[in-house]
Chain A
Amino acid sequence: MSEEKLTAPEHKLNNRDIWRMFMRLNTMRITLNYETLQGVGFMRAIAPALAKIYPDKKDLSEAMKRHLVFYNSHVNFDAVILGLSAAMEETTTPDEKDGINPLKTGLMGPLAGLGDSLIKFTWLPIVGSIGASIAFGGSIFGPILMFILYNVINMGARYYAVSFGYKKGIDFLNNNEQNDVIQRISTMANVVGLMVVGALISTVIKVKTPLKIVVHSNVSNKVGGNVISLQTMFDKIMPGLLSLLVTVLVYYILKKTNGKHAAMLIIAMMVVVVGLTYFKIL
Chain B
Amino acid sequence: MKVFILTVLAFLLGIDNVSTKMFRRPLLIAPIVGIILGNLQAGLIIGATLEVMWMGIGDVGAYMAPDIITGTMISTSLAIMGNTSGNISTMVATAITLAVPTSILAQQLLVLIETINCSLNGWAKRLADNADVKGTFWLTWPPAFLYGFACAFPTFLALQFGAGAIQQAINDLPKFIINGLSTAGSIIPSVGIALLMMTMLKKGELWMFIILGFVLSSYLKLDILPITLIALVFAFLYERATREPSAKAQVSPSTQLNNSSSDEEDDEEDYDL
Using a CB–CB cutoff of 8 Å, the interface residues on chain A facing chain B are: 26-37, 39-41, 43-44, 47-48, 50-51, 57-58, 60-61, 64-65, 68, 72, 75, 112, 116-117, 120-122, 124-126, 128-133, 135-136, 138-140, 142-143, 146-147, 150-151, 154-155, 180, 184, 187-207, 238-240, 243-244, 246-247, 250-251, 253-255, 259, 262-263, 265-267, 269-270, 273-278, 282
- B41: nearest residue on chain A (CB-CB)? A138
Report A-chain residues with C-beta under 8 Å of the C-beta of B147: 30
Report B-chain residues with C-beta under 8 Å of the C-beta of A278: 176, 180
> A199, B224: Cβ atoms under 8 Å?
yes
In the bound complex, how far is the Cα of B53 from the Cα of A28, in angstroms? 28
Q: List 27 A-B contacts (CB under 8 A).
A: A33-B120, A34-B117, A39-B121, A50-B133, A65-B129, A68-B124, A133-B224, A136-B48, A138-B45, A140-B31, A146-B27, A154-B22, A189-B235, A191-B209, A192-B232, A194-B213, A198-B214, A200-B213, A204-B189, A238-B219, A247-B193, A250-B190, A251-B198, A254-B195, A262-B195, A269-B188, A270-B96
Closest 8 A/B residue pairs (Cβ): A198-B213, A274-B180, A33-B117, A277-B180, A195-B213, A202-B218, A195-B231, A64-B128
> B120, A244: Cβ atoms under 8 Å?
no
Minimum distance in angstroms from B202 CB to a CB of chain A: 7
Name 8 extra pairs, CB < 8 A, besides A40-B121, A189-B235, A274-B176. A29-B18, A40-B139, A72-B61, A130-B225, A155-B22, A188-B232, A247-B193, A251-B198
Q: Is B87 part of the contact surface with A, judged by Cβ < 8 Å? A: no
Size category, B interface: 35 or more
From the candidates B96, B130, B189, B224, name the one contacting A130 in the complex (CB within 8 A).
Answer: B224
Report A-chain residues with C-beta under 8 Å of the C-beta of B197: 194, 197, 247, 251
